[in-house]
Structure 1
Amino acid sequence: MTDTPIVLVDGSSYLYRAFHALPPLTTSNGQPSGAIRGVLNMLKRLIKDYPASPMAVVFDAPGKTFRDTMFDQYKANRPPMPDELRAQIAPLHECVRALGLPLLCIDGVEADDVIGTLARLATDAGRDAVISTGDKDMAQLVNSHITLVNTMKDETLDVAGVEEKFGLPPSLIIDFLALMGDKVDNIPGVPGVGEKTALGLLQGMQGGLDTIYADLDKVKTLTFRGAKTLPKKLEEHRDQAYLSYQLATIKTDCELEHGLDDLAIAEPDREALKTLYRQLEFKAWLAELLEGNDEGVDDIERGTPVEPTPPHQANADAAVAATSSAARTDIIITEQVQLDDWLERLRTARAFCFDLETTSLNYMEADIVGVGLALEPGEAAYIPLGHDYLDAPEQLDRKAVLTALSEALSDERITKIGQNLKYDISVLARYSIVVKGPLIDTMLESYVLDSTATRHDMDSLALKYLGETTTSFEDVAGKGAKQLTFNQIALEQAVPYACEDVDITLRLHQLLRPRVDATGRLATVLDELEHPLIRVLSRMERHGVALDAKRLHTHSQELGERIRELETRAYELAGREFNLSSPKQLGEILFEEQGIPVLKKTPKGAPSTAEAVLEELALDYPLPKVIMAHRGLSKLRSTYTDKLPKLVDPATSRLHTSYHQAVTATGRLSSSDPNLQNIPIRNEEGRRIRQAFIARPGYRIVSADYSQIELRIMAHLSEDKGLLQAFADGRDIHAATAAEVFGVALDKVSADQRRSAKAINFGLIYGMSAWGLARQLHIEQSQAKVYIERYFDRYPGVARYMERIRTQAAEDGFVETVMGRRLYLPEIHAQNRARRQGAERTAINAPMQGTAADIIKRAMIDVDSWLQSQAETRNSDTFDAWMVMQVHDELVFEVKEDQVEAFIAEVKTRMQDAAQLDVALEVEANHGANWDEAH
């Protein structure tokens, strides 16, 4: 046999399995792509594992086969192919061909038959064959020269492997299938004979159908259950058994136009692959292609934009698209005359792009190493200021250069362009340089265009919109413990890296901005909310909030004691010690030793001990309740009481979180190091953590929180008369809903009824079903359904809004906030019901969440502007106050003690005026020595 085997890939099998087993992926224009990605991953692995082997990828051809003629009910029970799967067949075929792989689709037979025939031809020609499939039927082909490989399960089956897996040799697999049948293909088999019975028959008789039917009396003597009654069944269905045998047999004598010599792998069509990867948004593979082109990529190719996101937006400007990094001129500025020339150009420019190269990603620790500048695409400059490696050339004085640049940076007439400008602004503030004038951030341009995109960093945007792979920091600085800081990087590498950053950023802006302008009201969202917020967040982060580390340390010790007590209690309830953090050990105790019913299983089939499962079990069983308490306290300790003190700046004793504008799909801000959005407020332990957020001496913490803002937005959007009137009358909206749903007078609403109404109010705006409401209220689903029906009867405008927004989302593919922010819904037309309903729930809720996000951003901008004007005209009548945190619908301030009451009145007015809705916004504000007291 030849050393290199022929590899035969069951493309149809892998396509189905990838579709059902892998998470669904959809491109920005709605093209399903998850199964394509899964199959291509498998093919890439096979090419790597069998580098010198001929290969064929075989798919089922459309239309009937000889088996349909043999048995007209063959595969009759199969449901229609899902639209999301059908849509992936043609592009997958294109990708396979572009990879240089022979692709076969033969009319009248199945892929299995083509593979079987090619495998026989290979062995006849003295070659081994490897069949890559996940189909058990293929085991019948295995012999000493044919093996199966399943890349999804990382499984290889030779003759011994088949016997181990199925309990039978390959020669009996067809008989096995014939006896038990196949529901998927509607092969009838013998009624009453399942997998175990078929296995027992074949093992006991030591032969196949012919052996069994030659001696039915012997079947009675077999020892497995039901053997005595089997002969009658077998005799009654003899013809059916042999028909099933024929249906299950893979043909190995198909007439093929392609021979083994036609299976050589050709050179990949790189141009076709680039086009396909751009269309399918396979960014990493596109990057590999671009990086792997040793001859470089020509200008037109590098500039070809990826399919825009979203799909209906205008094409990229041709001039921007035609410019590439390959044609860029890089300038290093090390002489004063060069600097003077660029300073003059900056002074007379309407806009320029800049980017700082620094020693750290943490702006509080970052020293400026150099500055990148660009005025037009294709030309960029880098001013090195702090490269201090051993033989670094002489550079201009950092202080002098920054002082000179500060004139242009602080010129209010000049627009500043950058990527993640908040970082650069915060670093420059450490050097007492204030960036003024209009700001343009390409990260935010991308974000408002499509907030559902996962990445808005420069490297991802360059690949997505320009089709270019940029130089990563690791490319020039190395990785891991030996990674260099930028001051240690030689100018030969630093200059092109820094120049690329500003050039790419400027080109991205020139491409993205026209799309923003051409799409609805996104320009307003960008210019009036996102860009002005950059400076607000920078100020908040730099100011920080005071933290009482000693209080947290004490709290952490107490939590540790309670955690140990819960561990002891868990051991008592379990009857033995175990690792409370081990899902496996916990599952054994709960479901095997204690016999608690399994509510849900993991994808691998193990009983689930996820939080939602334990939460439900905790209603009836003590151990899950203890585990839930233990998990909750352990998370609080590790995430907050232990971690927060480590994040405090020792110089100021203040905590400086990082706010992120371009993360959430709805427009809400997120924060990290620490994440302030998830500190619990509904339990005592969470409130104790908030007590550690304090005001400095002589100041108070003021918390101002929008009251029921999403319900007010729902009233505005739905125009429901009942809701509008309830808010206009100043009624407690939850009590008002309870009165309507439960049919009682407003003053007779009980605490439990109000609680249930609150769950209904908030549940419905999140698209909660009767099942979900029943779980939350611990009532029967039928009762929850009645509550929901009553709610919609009393508030019909809400029901009409929900139906209207579903229809609109399906027609447009997106929904909008009151201020015009868009959220795209790529799965609104999904064939899969669960995914489609998920998109519909998002369509209902996103306008409310997004509008709430827009409102608080507007409030932050207005309040910050007022506070800055106060700071600039500081006198006895101005307020001494700082905005220190933003959490969900709440703003937190640090205010001079004797100004608190007057400040609250002012800030409430400004927050309530942030938007004009049909329902007046209401802000609740209070103050205290710490955050908990103020809330």
Structure 2
Amino acid sequence: MNTLLLVDGSSYLYRAFHAMPDLRSPHGDPTGAIYGVLNMLRSLRAGYPADYSACIFDAKGKTFRDDWYADYKAHRPEMPENLAVQIAPLHQLIAASGWNILMMEGVEADDVIGTLACQAASAGARCIISTGDKDLTQLVNSRIQLVNTMSSETLDEAGVLAKFGLPPASMVDYLTLVGDAVDNVPGVPKVGPKTALKWLKQYGTLDNLMSHAHEISGVVGNNLRDALEWLPQARRLLTVKCDVALPMRYDELVPPPQDAAQLRTLFERFGFKTWLRELSAPSTALPEPGDGAGEGMMGENAPASVEYETILTEARFEIWLDKIQRAEWVSLHTVAAGSSMMNAQIVGISFAVGPQDAAYLPLAHRYPGAADQIGREYALARLKPWLESAQYKKVGHDLKYDQHVYANHAIHLAGIAGDTLLQSYVLESHRSHEFDNLALRHLGAKIVSHAEIVGKGARQIGFDQVDLAATARYAAIHADTALQLHQMLIAEIRTQGRLEEVYFNIELPARQVLYVMERNGVLMDSARLARQSRELGEKLMNLEAQAHGAAGQPFNLNSPKQIQEILFDKLGLPVRKKTPGGTPSTDEEVLQELALDYPLPKLLLEYRGLAKLKSTYTDKLPLMVNRETGRVHTSYSQAVAVTGRLASSDPNLQNIPVRTAEGRRIREAFIAPPGSRIVSADYSQIELRIMAHLSEDQNLLRAFANGEDIHRATAAEVFCTPADAVSNEQRRYAKVINFGLIYGMSAFGLASQLNLDRSAAQQYIDVYFMRHPGVAGYMQRTRQQARQQGYVETVFGRRLWLPEINGGNAMRRQAAERAAINAPMQGSAADLIKLAMIAVQNWLENNGMNSRLIMQVHDELVLEVPDSEVALVKEKLPGLMCNVASLKIPLEVGLGEGENWEAAH
């Protein structure tokens, strides 16, 4: 049976535009709809091979339906400009990809699809229609089916019946009753899918229903009778015309050949690097570990014929040692085995001194049959002077990890002059910085990832067990690629003005400080945590008993299903929202709302909070203490948050809850050793101060300059009362307003936070902006700037990209607008704390201090300080942190000290 594949291009065009982020070409042209539709077509062709195919779009101008009904599609808005400019190049790309494109004046795409589909079915062929439009379900029969590549849904006759409760033959009647708001075809008022289904099941057809309209009672019955004259016209408008006069038959739609030259030109223009690479000769994948082959991988940048050296003799090692000492730049990649950065051991090292000039030095491959290798101790001893010299410039990807690995061998890696992880982060913080992704994005090179070599999860093996030849190829390509990426990315950074300062003055030196902090670690009192864990366990048992009493029966407090049954079925509490599956939700937001009026939800929230503390911290932290140091060594990630904020993991020290007494007690286990104290230094109200600096609002500037309580000052402005007469409740309201507005909070959000009606919340916002016109002006300017250039900037020039700011999805666009307002403040605060870390660490090192930085948590630095240095550190810290930048308002730092982290607050 021959197959005809028809694509409803107009349907997918709009769906792709609204579903995709605001992608841009290298020249700034929008490409989201282009990418989305092309991706769908590629997937469709792979999944549904066809003898004949076409992509059908609506032509410009009126159709016969406009003559039938003047208001047909009258309410449809104009096509967004960002979409309109993508139409012509999309058509070019579809045609060049080997698709027939059809657009017929005077008829809609649906009618062209219907005519061709019925032609094919009548001739005994099979027809597949790719669409997201339910109107085309009326065409489905034994030879015609619908597929939706966006939802992976297939609708044959049984599928339509299962989804809508009606066979395809009844779908026009169904659509007529419910109407089509998109095309402005009214149905019967107040009649939705359930009522339409009920009527058609009872009466069979629309005509029979109309003849029995007098039997339908109530408001919907009246509405049906009022619509009797209109319904035949609505059905006529919604029926797909299947006898359109077309200039071709379905069996003339043989796919044309691809135009590779045209595709290459267009892919380059729009920055579709992956597809551009696929047009080139396919590369050979790296072998699986253990198969002994060394063929690989890097497309045009490292064809399979490139041979990388594996250094197996001392003579070749000496030659490469001389080579790296003479090179201006050396790309370094360390292959290691171990469960963490603090215990990883070197398995091998790769070097690259130029494009495709790289080698791998294996040192500790331990599987049976591995080739003889140079002794690790001997090689590291010879390399140590070069590794520890700042004179020799090393580049690589995420070299902070490499530093830890070398430190595990008593080698202090120095001379780190470039890190492609940070270069990518500075240039495009909103994109992936995985090494294989960077290679593909910037070099068009498909390289094998770390996980593809060693595996994942329980199946992961150490590099010491990976085939030496495969590792050699992988590691040499890694070093080669990193050197090429470094040269490309650093050149780009140097052309981007202030980004050069962000990279060289903030990110690179902060990387070194983070390495020092990770190495220092934090001393833990495991015995204290064990006591807290026991106490939390007792409290959890007590709360469980109280919850059972409030429910009137035992139940599993960790089971959402049982909680749902107790709260809503047994106790009859009001359902606030439902899950995607249609069941009542028991998430935290719902429980918080219910807890205002009912005891059991409050108990459940308290139980959940304590259970998380126990499992995440008091139980887990002692297990993460390093046996050799007695400390936990978190890992700080620089290239995660688009705002520049750091992320902490294994363990996460930045999310320890401090709003409850039990949460704050966790910090008591972060202790100073005997003879030392914990000192905490925290920027005060840093984001509000940055708002004052950025907005230049005179009232904010004055309040901070005079050292006023900013929330009290805001309350005085909003409530039109003297500052000394502001009540605690008014100050609380002002605090929510201050922080809420810089996060882009709406009147609805503020009303929820303060438990007010929306009009009162809007009045507070209006008064605030009237008293702070500088803030209102800043917000408006920032939104406009973000729309124009796709990003906003911090005080220091970091670019905070907002891919959705001009997107077709309204919710994502609004979220991007809120982010545009807040990101410069969050990002500037992140830059400030990094600059403070750098300044403090430099001061400690330059003055031979024994004090050491041990943590960075949001706007706070935590130090471990010998008793003899406490006074000096407390004297110097505020100045060091406040003088890293000159803003229009003074910075302020709060200090505390104690025997543990909590006591320092």
TM-score by length of 1: 0.88
The corresponding residue for 1:257 is: 247
Q: How do residues 219-618 of structure 1 correspond to structure 2 at under 5 angstroms?
A: 220=214, 222=215, 233=226, 237-238=228-229, 240-265=230-255, 292=282, 323-324=301-302, 328-360=306-338, 362-453=340-431, 455-478=432-455, 481-583=458-560, 585-587=562-564, 589-591=566-568, 594-603=571-580, 606-618=583-595
Q: More displaced, 489-498 or 667-676?
A: 489-498
- Determine the C-alpha separation between the residues in 2 that align with 1:623 and 1:262: 69
Q: Equivalent pairs: percent with the same residue?
A: 51
- Determine the C-alpha separation between the residues in 2 that align with 1:769 and 1:368: 53
Question: Against the structure 1 CA distance between its residues 495 and 200, is the aligned structure 2 distance closer, same or farther, given a 3 Å change threshold?
Answer: closer
- Measure how far apart 1:427 and its partner are: 1.2
The corresponding residue for 1:319 is: none
- Determine the C-alpha separation between the residues in 1 that align with 2:275 and 2:38: 10
- Determine the C-alpha separation between the residues in 2 that align with 1:212 and 1:912: 78
- 1:26 pairs with one of 23, 26, 38: 23
- Determine the C-alpha separation between the residues in 2 that align with 1:437 and 1:832: 46
The corresponding residue for 2:289 is: none
- Determine the C-alpha separation between the residues in 1 that align with 2:786 and 2:158: 55
The corresponding residue for 1:869 is: 846
Give the RMSD, CA atoms, in angstroms. Answer: 3.3
Deviations 1:19-59 (A, max 9, x none): 55x46453476666665565556545544543456443333
The residue type paired with residue 468 of structure 1 is A
- Determine the C-alpha separation between the residues in 1 that align with 2:803 and 2:165: 46
- Determine the C-alpha separation between the residues in 1 that align with 2:310 and 2:673: 47
What's the secondary structure of 1:828's corresponding residue? coil
| Residue ranges of structure 1 left out of the alignment (5+ in a row) | 297-301, 305-321, 872-878
Deviations 1:58-88 (A, max 9, x none): 3323322221122222122223334455455
The corresponding residue for 2:891 is: 921
The corresponding residue for 2:184 is: 186
- Contact residue 669 and residue 900 of structure 2 kept, 8 A: yes
- Measure how far apart 1:118 and its partner are: 1.6
- Contact residue 10 and residue 59 of structure 1 kept, 8 A: yes
Question: Against the structure 1 CA distance between its residues 281 and 772, is the aligned structure 2 distance closer, same or farther, given a 3 Å change threshold?
Answer: farther
- Measure how far apart 1:534 and its partner are: 1.9
- Determine the C-alpha separation between the residues in 1 that align with 2:642 and 2:193: 48
- Measure how far apart 1:497 and its partner are: 1.1
- Measure how far apart 1:541 and its partner are: 0.7
Deviations 1:863-898 (A, max 9, x none): 112222344xxxxxxx42111111011111111123
The residue type paired with residue 932 of structure 1 is E
The residue type paired with residue 431 of structure 1 is H
Deviations 1:191-223 (A, max 9, x none): 6766566555554454553x567xx4x554x57
Q: How do residues 602-641 of structure 1 correspond to structure 2 at under 5 angstroms?
A: 602-603=579-580, 606-641=583-618
- Measure how far apart 1:494 and its partner are: 2.0
The corresponding residue for 1:785 is: 762
- Determine the C-alpha separation between the residues in 1 that align with 2:280 and 2:613: 45
Deviations 1:174-198 (A, max 9, x none): 3443455433322345667665665
- Measure how far apart 1:500 and its partner are: 0.6
Question: Against the structure 1 CA distance between its residues 337 and 95, is the aligned structure 2 distance closer, same or farther, given a 3 Å change threshold?
Answer: same
- Determine the C-alpha separation between the residues in 2 that align with 1:579 and 1:792: 49
| Residue ranges of structure 2 left out of the alignment (5+ in a row) | 287-296
- Measure how far apart 1:550 and its partner are: 2.2
Question: Against the structure 1 CA distance between its residues 635 and 269, is the aligned structure 2 distance closer, same or farther, given a 3 Å change threshold?
Answer: farther
The corresponding residue for 2:8 is: 10
- Measure how far apart 1:635 and its partner are: 2.1
Question: Against the structure 1 CA distance between its residues 379 and 575, is the aligned structure 2 distance closer, same or farther, given a 3 Å change threshold?
Answer: same
- Contact residue 130 and residue 148 of structure 1 kept, 8 A: yes
- 1:145 pairs with one of 136, 143, 146: 143
- Measure how far apart 1:493 and its partner are: 1.6
- Determine the C-alpha separation between the residues in 2 that align with 1:922 and 1:193: 62
Q: More displaced, 786-795 or 83-92?
A: 83-92
2:864 is aligned with 1:890: no
- Contact residue 219 and residue 227 of structure 1 kept, 8 A: no
- Determine the C-alpha separation between the residues in 2 that align with 1:594 and 1:88: 55
Deviations 1:744-787 (A, max 9, x none): 33333332222222222222222223332222222333333333
The residue type paired with residue 513 of structure 1 is I
- Measure how far apart 1:509 and its partner are: 0.9
The residue type paired with residue 430 of structure 2 is T
Question: Against the structure 1 CA distance between its residues 109 and 794, is the aligned structure 2 distance closer, same or farther, given a 3 Å change threshold?
Answer: closer
- Contact residue 701 and residue 934 of structure 1 kept, 8 A: yes
What's the secondary structure of 2:347's corresponding residue? strand
The corresponding residue for 1:111 is: 109
Question: Against the structure 1 CA distance between its residues 434 and 272, is the aligned structure 2 distance closer, same or farther, given a 3 Å change threshold?
Answer: farther
The corresponding residue for 2:293 is: none
- Measure how far apart 1:412 and its partner are: 2.3
Question: Against the structure 1 CA distance between its residues 175 and 769, is the aligned structure 2 distance closer, same or farther, given a 3 Å change threshold?
Answer: closer
- Contact residue 191 and residue 233 of structure 1 kept, 8 A: no
What's the secondary structure of 1:713's corresponding residue? helix
The residue type paired with residue 100 of structure 2 is P
What's the secondary structure of 2:903's corresponding residue? helix
Deviations 1:776-813 (A, max 9, x none): 22233333333333333443333333333333333433
Question: Against the structure 1 CA distance between its residues 199 and 890, is the aligned structure 2 distance closer, same or farther, given a 3 Å change threshold?
Answer: closer
Question: Against the structure 1 CA distance between its residues 276 and 596, is the aligned structure 2 distance closer, same or farther, given a 3 Å change threshold?
Answer: farther
- 2:880 pairs with one of 883, 900, 910: 910
- Measure how far apart 1:166 and its partner are: 4.2
- Contact residue 447 and residue 456 of structure 1 kept, 8 A: yes
- Measure how far apart 1:446 and its partner are: 0.9
- 2:126 pairs with one of 125, 128, 151: 128
- Determine the C-alpha separation between the residues in 2 that align with 1:903 and 1:295: 55
- Measure how far apart 1:373 and its partner are: 1.0
TM-score by length of 2: 0.90
Question: Against the structure 1 CA distance between its residues 53 and 632, is the aligned structure 2 distance closer, same or farther, given a 3 Å change threshold?
Answer: farther
- Measure how far apart 1:11 and its partner are: 3.2
2:47 is aligned with 1:70: no
- Determine the C-alpha separation between the residues in 2 that align with 1:84 and 1:629: 48
What's the secondary structure of 1:677's corresponding residue? coil
The residue type paired with residue 187 of structure 1 is V
- Contact residue 298 and residue 446 of structure 2 kept, 8 A: no
What's the secondary structure of 2:379's corresponding residue? helix
The corresponding residue for 2:291 is: none
- Measure how far apart 1:930 and its partner are: 0.9
- Contact residue 53 and residue 253 of structure 2 kept, 8 A: yes
- Contact residue 298 and residue 304 of structure 2 kept, 8 A: no
Aligned length: 894
- Determine the C-alpha separation between the residues in 1 that align with 2:789 and 2:570: 54
The corresponding residue for 2:58 is: 60
- Contact residue 65 and residue 108 of structure 1 kept, 8 A: yes
The corresponding residue for 2:870 is: 900
Q: More displaced, 906-915 or 699-708?
A: 906-915
The residue type paired with residue 528 of structure 2 is R
- Measure how far apart 1:482 and its partner are: 4.6
2:819 is aligned with 1:822: no
- Contact residue 325 and residue 500 of structure 1 kept, 8 A: no
Question: Against the structure 1 CA distance between its residues 717 and 146, is the aligned structure 2 distance closer, same or farther, given a 3 Å change threshold?
Answer: closer
- Determine the C-alpha separation between the residues in 2 that align with 1:254 and 1:393: 73
2:831 is aligned with 1:854: yes
- Contact residue 747 and residue 762 of structure 2 kept, 8 A: yes
- Measure how far apart 1:365 and its partner are: 1.9
2:169 is aligned with 1:171: yes
- Contact residue 119 and residue 250 of structure 2 kept, 8 A: yes
- Determine the C-alpha separation between the residues in 2 that align with 1:633 and 1:728: 42
What's the secondary structure of 2:478's corresponding residue? helix
